[in-house]
Amino acid sequence: MSIIRILFASDIHGSKLVWLKFLNAIKVYKVNIAIMGGDLSAKEILPIIHDAKSNLYQATLLGKNYNVTSKQELNELLERAKYFGLLPLITDTKDFKRIIKDLTYQRKIFEDLDAAQVLEWIEIAKNTSFENKPKIIIIPGNDDSKKIDEVLRNDDFVVYPDKEIDLDVYHKLISFNYVNPTPWNSLRELSEKELKKKLEQKFETVNDFDHVVAAIHAPPFNSGLDTAPKLDKKKRVVHLLGAPFYSAVGSKAVREVIEKYQPKLTLHGHIHESGGFTYIGKTLCVNPGSEYNIGALKAYLIELSKEKIEKFKLVEDTGIKRLLF
């Protein structure tokens, strides 16, 4: 009986440490297919101010001030920033002031750094020794700029799923990286009506849903995979009796499409707090959740045969390297 082993993770938001753990998990579990399901982009830039006269580099990382002059110290600072999911930027005082004031320039800098980081990650993957030559699929998410799409599309080592992909002789992967509206007005958001239309277009090209894996960044509404703290109009967490109030924030369109077409497996991310699995009809839906902010990898390991999902489990790596401190 032919079985494929899939590793699925999502929402690593710039953490080089989590990316390295993802690559290591591919090796440890000897997977055939590795899928990174969106939101590769970091959340913040770490400015490192360089004074050319003194050759001093200054930065504040996690409340600690750094004043370094040697190349070794600078490289260690750059790595610390990347491991924590920050984009380090060496700049000077004049340019830093422009970045703060000019939002268009700031966005360009951010997207350029993001794209360069993804290129770096791909190079690391290329230089990693994998025993069984896995197919590594990277899907952008709602926080990822189009520059990341360009990087992925133009590299022949990783797979950019802009169309239907064969996972093996039986299974096909379709992917979708837009989400329903959020309070954050992120880069890839659509109304539920628009989501439904585009998702239908994806699914209408498929004949055999018993062998479809769908990587859809937004989780289905009210599935237990989409529970997040409710926010008020000022984006503050709403509290009830002193505790955060949680609500379902997933996509109704995603749920409707899953209910209608019943693919074999759906892979979701986007809502970090709601790791877990559920069934919608006969469809297994998973969201590994995300704890990128503490350098933890959370991923689902799933084995598929032609007939069924043989087994699945959540795997985690919460170890922290000394370099971070």
Q: What is the pLDDT of residue 125?
A: 98
pLDDT of 317 strictly over 70: yes
Per-residue pLDDT at 320 exceeds 80: no
Check pLDDT > 80 for residue 96: yes
How much is the mean pLDDT over the chain? 95
Say what the pTM is. Answer: 0.95
What gap in Å lies between CA 266 and CA 281, rounded to an integer?
Answer: 12
What's the residue count for the chain? 325
Averaged over 102-118, what is the pLDDT?
Answer: 97
Neighbours of 128 (CB within 10 A): 13
**Amino acid identity, position 286:** V
CATH numbers and ranges of domains, the chain: 3-42+113-324 (3.60.21.10), 44-108 (no CATH)
Tell me how far apart the 2 most distant CA atoms of the chain are, in Å.
68
Q: For residue 257, which phi and psi values (nearest 5 degrees)?
A: -70, -40
CB atoms near residue 274 (< 10 Å):
23
pLDDT score of 240: 83
Q: What's the whole-number mean pLDDT along residues 273-298?
A: 97
Give pLDDT, residue 242.
81
Alpha helices of 84-155 — where are they, by DSSP H?
A: 93-101, 103-126, 146-153
Any idea which of 137-146, 234-243, 260-269 has the lowest mean pLDDT? 234-243
Write down the pLDDT at residue 232: 86
State how beta strands 239-240 and 172-176 pair: unpaired
pLDDT at 322 over 70: no
Phi first, then psi: give them for residue 113, nearest 5 degrees: -65, -40
Q: Is the pLDDT confidence value at 309 over 60?
A: yes
Whole-number pLDDT of residue 324: 44
pLDDT of residue 1: 61
Q: How confident is the model at residue 323 (pLDDT cuts 50, 70, 90)?
A: very low
The answer to whether the beta carbons of residues 37 and 9 sit under 8 Å apart is: yes
CB 82 within 8 A of CB 74: no
The per-residue pLDDT for 319 is: 81
pLDDT digits (tens, 9 = 90+) for 6-51: 999 999 999 999 999 999 999 999 999 999 999 999 999 999 999 9
Encoded tokens for 302:
């799933």
